[in-house]
Amino acid sequence: MRYPAEETAEKHRRILQQASILFRERGFSGVSVSEIMKATGLTHGTFYHHFESKDDLITKSLADASSKALASMEDAKASTGLMQTYIQDYLTEAHRDNMGVGCLMTALGAEVAREPLVRPTFTRHVKSVIEIMAAPFAAAKKRNARRQAIHQITNMVGAIILARAVDDPELSEEILREVRTVLSD
């Protein structure tokens, strides 16, 4: 039985969305195709109508998450003020506590380093983030806009990773607060 194209597209979108959440929460090897399909409310057999393999899903899920993340950053590249707001919103306890819907660099960076298949997709994402973050500095004619963007990104990503990793809530909040302060100067 063939389903209408809209229904098939909706199922595909749900699979990508749930895979993205679960991969960010538990890593690529920490979640099975069955678990992803169960989270979508679809059968395991449906998976193979949409993806060739789990590796195919990983690659497409990462690309989908990247495009959504980059789209959410687009407005911030219009000015340094909007970029500062984006940075301050990124370095929050809410972002720290919601790994499944948070930054894919913080959740999957270490995973990607061990998955050569998705490194090109991840690399494109990082390059795009650098371009977006450098845009307001370049527009303001600041020297070394790209260097400044890389510096900010690595501070932001590192802060979220460390804030998630420590078991001391006060230290976690301090890490976020101090990096917010440094990056607002």
In order, the DSSP letters of 4-48 are PHHHHHHHHHHHHHHHHHHHHHH-STTS-HHHHHHHHT--HHHHH
Strands (E), 39-119: none
Q: Which two tokens stand for residue 181?
A: 């302060």
Average pLDDT, the chain: 93
pLDDT tens-place string over residues 125-142: 999 999 999 999 887 777
Amino acid at 128: S
**12: how many CB neighbours lie within 10 A of its CB?**
17
Count of structural domains within the chain: 1
pLDDT (mean) for 14-26: 97
Instruction: State residue 2's pLDDT score.
Output: 64
Q: What is the CATH number of the domain that holds 176?
A: 1.10.357.10
The helix or strand, by DSSP H or E, that contains position 115, with its residue range, turns out to be none
Pairwise CA distance, residues 20 & 2, whole Å: 26
pTM for this one? 0.90
Q: Judge whether residue 31 has pLDDT over 70.
A: yes
- Residue range of the domain that includes 177: 5-184
**17: how many CB neighbours lie within 10 A of its CB?**
18
